[in-house]
Structure 1
Amino acid sequence: MPVLPGAEPFTHNGSEDIGVLLCHGFTSTPQSMRAWGEHLAAEGFTVRCPLLPGHGTRWPDLNRTSWRDWYAAAEAELAELRGRCRSVFVFGQSMGGTLTLRLAERHPDIAGIVLVNPSVTTLRMGARLLPLLGRVWPAIGGIPGDIAKPGGFELAYQRLPLRAMASMQEFWGVVRADLGRVRQPLLLFRSAVDHVVEPVNSALVLDGVASSDLAEVVLADSFHVATLDHDAPAIFSGSVEFLQRIHCERAEEVV
């Protein structure tokens, strides 16, 4: 199926010193990360934000994929960046944060990670029934565009594909089991009000990782899709300061 206008991958070739992989969320598209990618590109960094398999076309396509497909796509982009840039960072929002954590677990050479409202679990009733429900109903109503800013728009599916959701739930368990393998510097942005991902998600991440360089920033004026919300400028500038600091510290260690 053709890709929806605006859902295309974002690519910028900049510095060979620093590369950044951006990972978008479940049912979303690179549109939700594009402004962040453009900010990083303007700073001179090399940036990649792939369109994950099953996303950006029609929601039934997502039910034909699994977390292994999404992870493989992100890992392929990481490999390309690692071959191009000396320091590579991974930034992710929501399920993109889940992918970011898994990449950090599997690739300790990643320089640092930034998470925005990452998802690793849910407290919602019926979550355990997802594998069964997915066999009966292909999808239910979704909640895209959880944005406080008036006029904020997220290009995402209006339906929540249940088979794909069950696969993401399986992915959460895989990532939670290996959180102790995450040792990279980590910066986590969490919205004070999030109608999609519960606060327990960030707590589990912060308590589970082994990173010694660890910081949490609470976003007072944004909902779930914070990269398109009031606090987006703080996320963008904060992530640049973070990666510049880490890159400089790594360079000093080499000297």
Structure 2
Amino acid sequence: MPVLPGAEPYRHEGGEVGALLCHGFTGSPQSLRPWAEHLAEHGLTVSLPLLPGHGTRWQDMQVTGWQDWYAEVDRELRALTERCTEVFVFGLSMGGALALRLAARHGDAVRGVVVVNPANKMHDRAAGVLPVARFLVPSTKGIVSDIAKPGSVEIGYDRVPLHAAHSLRQFFRLVDGELPQVTQPLLVLHSPQDHVVPPADSARVLSRVSSTDVTEILLEQSYHVATLDHDADRIFEESLAFIGRLAPSAGKEGTTTGG
């Protein structure tokens, strides 16, 4: 299936400091594209992959699971570590869980972690019946475009495939168990008004990680997809400042154009 217009992966060859961005469940790179381009404009080498089963049609997600999504970002991280001296991982929603697992498993290969409204658990009461329901009902209503800013739209699926949702539920449990292995500097930005992932998930992440360098920022003007919302510029600037503090060489070399 062809990729939806705007949902394509994004890569940029910049300097010696790299950034890997992970998009959310049923979403696409489009939700993080402005963030990725902002980092690229400031000299970073950037990778924003399209996760398997995403960016085409929701039926394509039915044959994928967390192992496929994680393998994709794991592969991209390994490629960045070969290219760059220091690498940061970023994530929105489920992408936040992916980023945190990368940090837990790759240790010093990840210099720092930035997550926006990271997902940690399925809170829907129906989640408990997913093991059975996924064989009876193929999908349920979508979760994309939870954005406060008028005219801002997220490219993603209008349906949630239940086989994939079941796999996501398993992944959240796995990552929650691995959070104490996260020791890297951590920046958590989250929205008090989020209709997809409650603030409790960010609180859970903050309470479980072993990181000692931790910053929490509230995104008061945004909903779930804050990277396309009123607080987007703040996310971009805060993450750049975070990188600049930990990797002072960031942006000092490399090109500032490309895609």
Q: Same fold (TM over 0.5)?
A: yes
Aligned mates of 1:214, 1:29 — CA distance in 2: 28
Confirm or deny: 8 A CA contact 1:54 1:62 kept in the other structure: yes
Aligned mates of 2:130, 2:36 — CA distance in 1: 33
1:212 aligns with 2:217: no
Match of 2:143 in 1: 143
Aligned mates of 1:143, 1:102 — CA distance in 2: 23
1:117 aligns with 2:117: yes
Shift of 1:122: 2.6
**1:1-255 → structure 2 map (5 Å cutoff):** 1-16=1-16, 18-109=17-108, 110-248=110-248
Higher relative contact order (CA 8 A, sep 6+): 2
Aligned mates of 1:143, 1:167 — CA distance in 2: 16
Amino acid at match of 1:102: R
Match of 1:253 in 2: none
Aligned mates of 2:29, 2:143 — CA distance in 1: 17
SS at match of 1:136: coil
Confirm or deny: 8 A CA contact 1:8 1:51 kept in the other structure: yes
Confirm or deny: 8 A CA contact 1:122 1:198 kept in the other structure: no
Deviations along 1:17-39, one digit per CA (max 9) or x if unpaired, are x0000000000000000000010
Amino acid at match of 2:196: V
Confirm or deny: 8 A CA contact 1:14 1:46 kept in the other structure: yes
SS at match of 2:135: helix
SS at match of 1:11: strand
Number of residues of Structure 1 aligned to a counterpart in Structure 2: 249
Stretch deviating more after TM superposition (132-141 or 222-231): 132-141
Shift of 1:123: 2.4
Amino acid at match of 1:213: D
Aligned mates of 1:215, 1:238 — CA distance in 2: 10
Aligned mates of 2:126, 2:159 — CA distance in 1: 17
Aligned mates of 1:131, 1:43 — CA distance in 2: 45
Aligned mates of 2:124, 2:95 — CA distance in 1: 20
Percentage identity across paired residues of the two chains? 54
Shift of 1:248: 3.4
Aligned mates of 2:46, 2:171 — CA distance in 1: 25
Aligned mates of 1:58, 1:131 — CA distance in 2: 22
Amino acid at match of 1:145: S
Deviations along 1:224-249, one digit per CA (max 9) or x if unpaired, are 00000000000000000001101139
SS at match of 2:125: coil
Under a length normalisation based on structure 2, what TM-score does the superposition of the two structures give? 0.95
List 4+ stretches of structure 1 deviating above 2 A.
Answer: none
Amino acid at match of 2:66: W
Shift of 1:220: 0.4
Gaps of 5+ in 1: 250-255
Under a length normalisation based on structure 1, what TM-score does the superposition of the two structures give? 0.96
